[in-house]
Amino acid sequence: MTDESPIVRLEGLTKIYKRGDTEVRALRGLDLEVRAGEFVALTGPSGSGKTTALNMIGALDTPTSGRVFVDGRDLSSLSRGQLSEMRRDRIGFVFQAYNLIPVLTAYENAEMVLCLQGVSEAERRPRVMKILAEVGLEGMEMRRPSQLSGGQQQRVAIARAIVTQPAVTLADEPTANVDSKTAAMLLDTMERLNTERGVTFVFSTHDPRVVERAKRVVHMVDGQVDSDETKS
């Protein structure tokens, strides 16, 4: 179920990278809206701009021109400190390489952002235990990443991304490093979180398995939207 408020709005985004004497136009006037509760895949060939668009939404990069709004805030109007707070509090990230801290347990990795937010241990513990159970890691809370499979590590990453209840969760090729069975289980988990918790997901992906599951597919070519299909 979605409401009418765009959680993400991209207006006329352009991004030009300079590589020596060459200019690479990664985005060319991109316009896009994502509403609360959507399950959206940005797809397209390499160089189409989908990862660049995800980085803009995540305040990991800045546009050459145009504006990015997340949760009603214009990112271009925020200071560096405010952008850091935005990434910490309102944007969840699930990376292809998991990006877990090796010396921390699954529980500690999942609670890390809550610690940074200053949430008390009394509040953190039930939230972290509940979300780890929801992603299928009950009983594995004290294992370190080296003691977990790739799929289990990605589940920890999903738990870490959504335990703060962000406005939007960004997933960059989340199934790239796992086999088909594990990919299906991860997608089951994210679909359930979307349906039951209303978690808004935006994927950047080449994976047809993700595209098949997405409720909306935005196909990008040459830094622009080529097609935008919402499935019935």
Domains of the chain: 36-61+79-230 (3.40.50.300)
Q: Which helix (H) or strand (E) holds 85?
A: helix 80-89
> In the structure, what pLDDT confidence band is assigned to residue 4 with cuts at 50, 70 and 90?
low
Q: Average pLDDT, whole number, for the chain?
A: 93
Percent of the chain at pLDDT above 70? 98
Single-letter amino acid code for the residue at 143: R
* pLDDT greater than 80 at residue 112: yes
pLDDT of residue 158: 93
Measure the CA–CA gap between 197 and 28, rounded to whole angstroms: 34
Residues 33, 58: Cα–Cα separation, whole Å: 14
Residue 35 has pLDDT above 50, yes or no: yes
Distance between alpha carbon 42 and the CA centroid of its chain, in Å? Answer: 11
Extract the tokens encoding 128. Answer: 């972290």
Residues 60-84, mean pLDDT to the nearest whole number: 95
Q: Over the stretch 113-141, which tens digit does the pLDDT of each residue have? A: 999 999 999 999 999 999 999 999 999 99
Confidence label for 2 from pLDDT (cuts 50, 70 and 90): very low
Extended strands (E) in 36-128:
39-43, 65-70, 73-74, 91-94
